[in-house]
Amino acid sequence: MRPNTHSIVIGYLAWIFGFMGAHRFYYGKRISGTIWFFTLGLFFIGWIIDLFLIPSMDREADMKYTPGIYNYSVAWLLLTFLGIFGVHRMYLGKWITGILYLFTGGLFLIGLLYDLWTLNGQVSERNLIEKNSSF
C-alpha cells in the first residue's frame, strides 16, 4: 500500500474554490484544472460532479507521486497563500528562485502559473532526490 501523499481534507477544502480548478491542480490534473479555471468548473456542473470524484482523484495522486520528507499539502498551501513571495519554493530548497519570486511578485505572476502546473512534479522530484541521497 502506497503512503498517502495528498490529503483528502485539503482536496475538499480546495474544492470550495474548485470552480477555479484549485482541487484539480492540487491532484495533478493540470489540463482539466486549466479548463475549470477558464469555464468556472465547466459552468459549475463539473464542479458539482467533482464533489463525488475527489476520493478517486486522491487515490490516483497517492499512486502517482513520490512520498517523502516534502509534504504536498504544505507545498500547496504555501503556494496558495504565499506563492507570490516564493515561500513554497524556499520550502522545497529552491532558495534562488524563491528569493527571485519574493522581489518580482512571483516573477510577475507567470511563475505562479507555471507552479500551478508543475508543483506536484517539483515536490515528487525533491522527494526522490532526498530518498536517493539517503542511501
Q: What is the pLDDT of residue 27?
A: 98
Same domain for 77 and 56?
no
Query: Which residue, 48, 64, 80, sits at the end of a domain?
Result: 64
* Residue 1, domain member (yes or no): no
* Alpha-helical segments (H) within 2-133: 8-16, 22-26, 30-43, 45-64, 72-82, 87-91, 95-108, 110-133
Below-50 pLDDT ranges, the chain: none
The CA-based dihedral angle spanning residues 69, 74, 75, 80, taken in that order and rounded to the nearest 10 degrees: 180
Q: Count CB atoms within 10 A of the CB of residue 79.
A: 23
Q: Is there a single domain that holds both residue 60 and residue 88? A: no
Among 64, 85, 100, identify where a domain stops: 64
pLDDT of residue 124: 97
Instruction: Domain count for the chain, please give it.
Output: 2
Q: Positive or negative, the Cα torsion across 92, 97, 102, 106?
A: negative
Claim to verify: residue 93 and residue 41 sit in the same structural domain? no
Q: Verify that 80 and 105 share a domain, yes or no.
A: yes
**3 falls within a domain:** no
In whole numbers, what is the pLDDT of the chain averaged over residues? 94
The answer on 58 and 21 residing in a single domain is yes
pLDDT at 19: 78
Spatial distance between the Cα atoms of 112 and 131, rounded to a whole number of angstroms = 27
Of 29, 48, 64, which marks where a domain is finished? 64
Q: Which domain holds residue 99?
A: 72-133
Residues 58 and 89 in one domain: no
Q: Which of 122, 117, 125, 111 is nearest to 83 (CA)?
A: 111
Question: Is-above-0.85 flag for pTM?
Answer: yes
